[in-house]
Chains A and B, each alone.
Chain A
C-alpha cells in the first residue's frame, strides 16, 4: 500500500465521520497530486459538503469530484 492509499483511506474515514457528510460509501483515490472522490450522496448540498471536508485535508492537490446525487427518477416497479 502506497502512502497515497493511506491518505485515501483517511479521507474516506473523514467523509464517514464528519457530520456534514456522514457517508460511508464514498471512494477516495489519491494519485500523486490528484484526489478523486466518487460514489452517491443524498443531495446537492451534501455534494458541496464533500468538497468542503476534503479541501481542508488534501493540501495543494487537485480535487476531482465525481460524486453523483441520488436520483429522483420515476419509481421503479417490481412484481412479487
Chain B
C-alpha cells in the first residue's frame, strides 16, 4: 500500500503551534542573541559592538563568582531535593486516604509563587519576629535568635530551607508517578520472595523509577541554575554581593546598570551552559539504560 504524503496539510495542522513557538520562543531568542552583540542601553541607543560583550564577560570576575555561587547552590540543593523527594514519593505512593492528604499538603507550596514563599520565609527567618528563629530557640537548638542573612553560609542555608519547602513536592510528584507506574504484581512477587524494604528500594523501585528520577533531576538542576527570586527577596545579593546568582547578576547589569547588551551576552552564555549540562544528563540517562 502506498501512502500519499501531503506536506502542506501537515504544515497547516502544525501552523498554530509553529506560530506560537516562533512568536514567544524563537523571536525573543533571536532578539536576545542580536542584543548581545550590541551596546543597547535600557534607556535606548546603542550600536553593534561585535564580540566585545563576550570578551568582557569572560574577564568579569563578578560574573564568574556569581556563576560559581549558583553552581554551589545547585550542587547542594539538588541532592537534598531529590533525596527528600524520593523518600516522600516512597511514603505517599500507595493510595490510602492519609497518604493522599500528605501528598496534597506537600505539593501545596509548589502552586504558590516563589516570590510569595520567599517573602514568607524572609519573615520567618527574621531575628526579631521570625517564628522559625523562635522555634529553634524554644527547641534549644539555638541559644539566641540568629541573623540568618548576615553571613553567606547561613544565608545559603536559609534560602535552601525555604526553596526545599517550596519545591520538594514537585520532585515528589514526578517520582511518585514513576513509582506508581511499576506494576503492583512486581511488589507482590517481591513480598513473596521475601525482599526487605531496603532491597525492594534498591533493586526494584530505584531501577524502575530511574527515568522519572532523572527527569526530576534535570528539571531541578535547570531551576536551580536559574535561581533569582529567592535571593533577590531574601538576601538582596548580600552580604557584600556574595550571594549574587548568575541570573541576579544578569538582572543587575540589565536593569540596574541599564546595560541590556551586556546582560543579553551573559544570558546567552548561561543558556549555553545549561543546555550543555542538560544534554550531558540526558546522554548519561540513555547510556545508563542500555
Tell me if chain B binds chain A.
Answer: no
